[in-house]
Structure 1
């Protein structure tokens, strides 16, 4: 078989389609910015990083910049984003495989504000070593992994 030949796949073995989430890690003096989710279908009443999903036709870095502007009213340059963690998450609620990307900006422009009060009850800085009990579980996991310097982790998969 030639090295460029297609490898036959079993019938019904479609490629995996992942949901890709982007998360903004803003820290200041050992604290992290979290938002209290409200009026949302996922994790309403829980604390979570500013985040969203990649939309068709945009690279992940543009997705992160768009979400930062929509949620916090700040402007990021794609070149100012550092990918600090990748989480492969099997969502127990819907069984979907999700790739969660966590970015830390080296800088941003504007003043942080709650630009989506209909989706976010409040923004608050929390100590990294004192997150609220009602933090979205995979968010708390990822923040712990980031603190340990881990670039990759998984959640929800059986061992």
Structure 2
């Protein structure tokens, strides 16, 4: 969405062109077909009403593959899941209105994402997504895992590390942020060390992911469910008695850490 002419630059011939330019600059997305959907109004800090034109478009890629440049994180969510997310009521109402007038969008499955190919000076390259994961052990040698929500876009009803994708930030900053946002745990970057890396392709031919698992030597706080749309509960598990189902690369990383191995590959032919 773009507010009136203050969002436009001299070279933009229309608001739709402004949106397309912003999508290219902020996310590396090229969406040529944008359709005006609604006109909303917002209040600026001085009380002035600001018109906001909302456009609708279609894209079927993998958000983790996008070269995000302005500190945001993108993810797919179905409309029926969105009431559990933290968002403004006006945004939720807007999405519901679009879903009600475009019901086919809720029934049509998205194709499997393909690796994002980004033009470089030397030709083309495949970008790898970066994920960070928290490995915590308690005094009994048990590992902290969370049970993902049944409607989670990834690994629903499956046990997994506390995890997140890097935004415009360092891996350690991402880890510290995710630990507090998801579980209310406070961790100092100086108390963290890299424990294992899984270079993963899932599904075969999909976007490569570099999954970094960090061990925190100490932390403060008791794990609590802070984002119920992602995780329904935290629990401690002994590495010899891991729960099922569990994300395969989570198990592989725990086994690698116990074996003193720093690196694992999965899904590569």
- Provide the TM-score with structure 1 as the length reference: 0.87
- The CA deviation at 1:44 is 0.3
Match of 1:18 in 2: 128
Q: Aligned partners of 2:125, 2:172: CA distance in 1, in Å?
A: 24
Match of 1:51 in 2: 163
Q: Aligned partners of 1:93, 1:124: CA distance in 2, in Å?
A: 31
- The CA deviation at 1:31 is 1.0
Match of 2:65 in 1: none
Structure 2: where are the runs of 5+ without partners?
1-120
> What do the CA deviations read for 1:33-52 (whole angstroms, capped 9, x no partner)?
11100131110010001001
Whether 1:68 aligns to 2:205 is no
- The CA deviation at 1:78 is 1.4
Match of 1:32 in 2: 143
Q: Aligned partners of 2:217, 2:237: CA distance in 1, in Å?
A: 20
- The CA deviation at 1:94 is 6.6
Give the match's secondary structure for 1:61.
Answer: helix
Whether 1:104 aligns to 2:215 is yes
1:116 corresponds, among 207, 215, 227, to 227
Q: Aligned partners of 1:94, 1:111: CA distance in 2, in Å?
A: 39
Whether 1:149 aligns to 2:260 is yes
- Provide the TM-score with structure 2 as the length reference: 0.52
Q: What is the total number of aligned residue pairs between the two structures?
A: 147
Structure 1: where are the runs of 5+ without partners?
1-7
Q: Aligned partners of 1:89, 1:149: CA distance in 2, in Å?
A: 19
* Cα RMSD for the two superposed structures: 1.5
Greater CA deviation, 87-96 or 61-70?
87-96
Q: Which 4+ runs in 1 deviate beyond 3 A? A: none
Give the match's secondary structure for 2:249.
Answer: helix
- The CA deviation at 1:108 is 1.4
More helix by share: 2
Distance of aligned partners of 1:125 and 1:63 in 2 relative to their CA distance in 1, 3 Å threshold: same
Distance of aligned partners of 1:75 and 1:44 in 2 relative to their CA distance in 1, 3 Å threshold: same
Task: Return the structure number with greater relative CO, CA threshold 8 A, min gap 6.
Answer: 1
* Structure ID, larger Rg: 2
